[in-house]
């Protein structure tokens, strides 16, 4: 298996190892470097808190039981305890096992055993404590046996109010031996943990990266143009999400690819037909009708018509691209919708006269609407062209204008074949055609409805189609009568 420099696998592996190393370093530091300080701190705390308990017990107690309790506190905390009254008399003394009775006290008073001297020393100490208003803690090092200890002294008062001095000592054990043992153990622990971390992190990294690698492999297949790949979900939710998104994108790409192929065939069909006609008629003029003015003019008229059709088609392509790219300008204002419909219908007069189409308009003649008049005209024209193209043998088309308080709804109904349910949501897509063969009374570009959709999306109003095969289709859209208030 190869590990690339920036791979997630390598990173997880390294981070995991780093984590283990940091933890081990922490362990090493605490077990070897900081252990002395930590031990001293702990000893200090235990001597001070032990002394505090002793003071409370001494103050509250009945002599016999109190001494027993004090002895047990001293034992628990490994403390040697002496209570000396201000006359220099020892009232209570306790030494943990293995330590000579009164040893620490003797050291503390620097070896002076006589009570007079001891009395002075105790009084001096009592004065110091009073002045400091707290117990006195200091460290003592005995050169003779290398013994190190903490000594804490404070004043105690018994139940009768008699004051004495409490002197507590706690021995510090040398840690060198312990540190040595710990270090040795730590070497094993370190090797063990590093080994486990190494293997475990490798396995985890493998597990995390595998689904991603699989997806990458599939994506490579996709990038070669194979849209039939499916991305599999892979164990954890982020990858599942990614796989889902990629599957979605793949189906989108597939659709685009299909549309692209259709587009090429549609566009080439739409371009080829007029071009063939133009070529044919141009040749006819050259070879046959060049000198016959009447025929020549007829043929020239066909050429002009076909050129118009071509340029309309190119214009439509441009319009829909612009609309969908969102670069088109939008100038909404109030305009007379009834008049606009009349004007647009006028463009179909030739058809009405020559081919017997009937277009019935229902609605008031002065309905106003709010929108971009030019774009609405274009959408209306496209809808009417479709109705003319697809309506039934009776060649009838019905337009109705319905008003509500705020909106006006325009419906264009034909008596044609209708649209199958499965095609209904697709007809608004660019270049989508239900029937690849299409009859045409009016030039159609195959992008008419895509333009209609873009126009009404731009106006942020509702539009749609109701259609059932065999029962004609009704395309409709709505417009606000006046500029809508914000939030509408
Ligand atoms: P076209 O130039 O093919 O009409 P459109 O984008 O205007 O392109 O329409 C897309 C498709 O929707 C048409 O090919 C047709 O199948 C269907 N369609 C549109 N209008 C109607 C209608 N009034 N009746 C039946 N089918 C329609």
50 and 144 fall within a common domain: yes
pLDDT (0 to 100) of residue 324: 64
Q: Report which protein residue has its CA nearest ligand 1's atom 21.
A: 386
**How confident is the model at residue 443, as a pLDDT?**
47
For the Cβ of 426 lying below 6 angstroms from any atom of ligand 1, the answer is no
Q: Specify whether the CB–CB gap between 375 and 385 falls below 8 A.
A: no
How many Cα atoms sit within 13 Å of 399 on the Cβ side? 24
- Domain span holding position 87: 35-173
**Is ligand 1 within 6 A of the CB of residue 316?**
no
The predicted structure's pLDDT at residue 299: 87
Mutate to test the pocket of ligand 1, among 313, 359, 386, 466 (most ligand atoms within 8 A of CB): 386
CATH at 309: 1.10.287.130
| Residue 152 shares a structural domain with residue 204 | no
For residue 108, what pLDDT is reported?
59
**Res 205: pLDDT:** 86
Any long-range contacts for 266-273 (C-beta under 8 Å, 24+ apart)? 266/431, 266/433, 266/446, 267/317, 267/431, 270/313, 270/445, 270/446, 271/310, 271/313
Pocket flag, ligand 1, residue 99 (CB < 6 Å): no
* Enclosing H/E stretch for 35: helix 35-60
Where does a domain end: 298, 323, 348?
323
Q: What pLDDT score was predicted for residue 360?
A: 93
Q: Which pLDDT score, from 0 to 100, does residue 99 have? A: 63
Same-domain check for residues 348 and 432: yes
pLDDT value of position 346:
84
**Final residue of a domain: which of 292, 323, 354?**
323
Ligand 1 center–CA 427 separation, angstroms: 7
445 pocket-lining for ligand 1 (C-beta < 6 Å): yes
| Average pLDDT per 10 consecutive residues for the chain, totaling 488 residues | 74 89 90 86 90 88 75 86 85 75 56 63 81 79 75 87 87 83 90 91 87 89 88 84 91 82 73 82 88 88 86 78 69 94 85 83 92 90 88 92 94 93 84 57 65 89 93 95 74
Would you say residue 394 lies in a domain?
yes
Could you give the residue ranges of the DSSP H alpha helices within 133-236? Answer: 176-223
Residue minimizing CA distance to atom 14 of ligand 1: 433
Residue in this structure with the two tokens 């040697």, named with its chain if needed: 80
Q: Given the DSSP bridges, would you call strands 358-362 and 396-403 parallel, antiparallel or unpaired? A: parallel
- With the most atoms of ligand 1 within 8 angstroms of its CB, the residue from 433, 447, 455, 474 to mutate is 433
CATH number of domain containing 346: 3.30.565.10
- Tokens, residue 190: 């370190």
Same domain, 342 and 267: no
Residue 14 Cα to ligand 1 midpoint, Å, equals 61
Quote the pLDDT of residue 356: 85
Q: Which of 402, 343, 322 is nearest to 367 (CA)?
A: 402
Pocket of ligand 1 contains residue 431 by CB under 6 Å? no
Measuring CA to CA, how many Å separate 362 from each of 336, 341, 407?
Answer: 15, 11, 16
Dihedral pair phi/psi, residue 216, rounded to 5°: -60, -40
Same domain, 205 and 312: no
- Within this chain, do residues 257 and 289 fall inside the same structural domain, yes or no? yes
pLDDT for position 441: 45
| Burial (Cβ within 10 Å: 0-12, 13-18, ≥19) of residue 106 | middle
205-214 long-range contacts, Cβ below 8 Å, gap at least 24?
Answer: 205/8, 205/9, 205/10, 205/11, 205/12, 205/13, 205/16, 206/9, 207/235, 208/8, 208/9, 208/12, 208/236, 209/7, 209/8, 209/9, 209/12, 210/234, 211/235, 211/236, 211/239, 212/8, 212/239
Is 242 in the same domain as 154? Answer: no
448 lines ligand 1 (CB under 6 A): yes
- Measured in Å, residue 187 CA sits from the centre of ligand 1 at 81
For ligand 1, say whether the CB of 390 is within 6 Å of any of its atoms.
yes
Return the residue whose CA atom lies nearest to atom 20 of ligand 1: 386
Predicted pLDDT at 472: 92
Q: What is the pTM of this model?
A: 0.47
């Amino acid at each position: 298996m190869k590990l690339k420099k920036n791979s997630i696998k390598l990173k997880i592996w390294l981070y995991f190892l780093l984590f283990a190393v940091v933890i081990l370093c922490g362990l090493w530091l605490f077990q070897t470097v900081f252990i002395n300080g930590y031990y001293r701190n702990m000893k200090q705390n235990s001597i001070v808190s032990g002394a505090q308990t002793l003071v409370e017990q001494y103050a509250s107690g009945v002599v016999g039981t109190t001494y027993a309790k004090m002895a047990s506190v001293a034992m628990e905390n490994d403390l040697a305890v002496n209570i000396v009254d201000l006359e220099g008399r020892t009232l209570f003394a306790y030494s943990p096992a293995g330590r000579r009775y009164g040893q620490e006290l003797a050291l503390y008073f620097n070896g002076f055993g006589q009570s007079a001297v001891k009395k002075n020393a105790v009084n001096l100490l009592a004065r110091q404590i009073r002045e400091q208003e707290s117990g006195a803690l200091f460290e003592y090092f005995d050169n003779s046996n290398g013994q190190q200890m903490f000594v804490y002294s404070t004043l105690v008062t018994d139940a009768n109010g008699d004051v004495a001095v409490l002197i507590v000592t706690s021995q510090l054990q040398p840690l060198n031996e312990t540190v040595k043992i710990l270090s040795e153990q730590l070497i094993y622990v370190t090797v063990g943990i590093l080994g486990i971390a190494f293997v475990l992190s490798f396995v985890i990294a493998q597990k995390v990266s595998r689904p991603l690698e699989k997806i990458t492999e599939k994506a490579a297949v996709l990038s070669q143009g194979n849209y039939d790949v499916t991305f599999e979900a892979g164990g954890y939710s982020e990858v599942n999400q990614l796989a889902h998104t990629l599957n979605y994108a793949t189906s989108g790409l597939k659709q685009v690819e299909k549309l692209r192929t259709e587009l090429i065939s549609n566009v080439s069909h739409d371009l080829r037909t007029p071009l063939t006609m133009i070529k044919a008629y141009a040749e006819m003029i050259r070879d046959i009708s060049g000198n016959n003015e009447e025929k020549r003019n007829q043929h020239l008229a066909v050429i002009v018509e076909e050129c118009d059709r071509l340029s309309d088609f190119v214009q439509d392509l441009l319009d829909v691209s612009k609309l969908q790219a969102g670069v088109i300008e939008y100038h909404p204002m109030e305009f007379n919708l009834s008049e606009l419909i009349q004007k647009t219908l006028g463009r179909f007069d030739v058809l009405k006269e020559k081919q017997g189409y009937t277009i019935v308009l229902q609605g008031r003649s002065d309905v106003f609407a709010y929108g971009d008049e030019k774009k609405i005209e274009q959408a209306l024209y496209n809808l009417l062209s479709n109705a003319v193209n697809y309506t039934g043998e009776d060649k009838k088309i019905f337009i109705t204008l319905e008003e509500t308080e705020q909106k006006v709804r325009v419906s264009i109904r034909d008596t044609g074949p209708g649209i199958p349910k499965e095609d209904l949501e697709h007809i608004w897509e660019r270049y989508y055609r239900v029937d690849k063969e299409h009859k045409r009374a009016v030039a159609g570009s195959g992008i008419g409805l895509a333009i209609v959709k873009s126009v009404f999306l731009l106006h942020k109003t509702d539009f749609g189609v109701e259609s059932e095969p065999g029962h004609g289709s009704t395309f409709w859209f709505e417009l606000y009568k006046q500029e809508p208030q914000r939030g509408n």
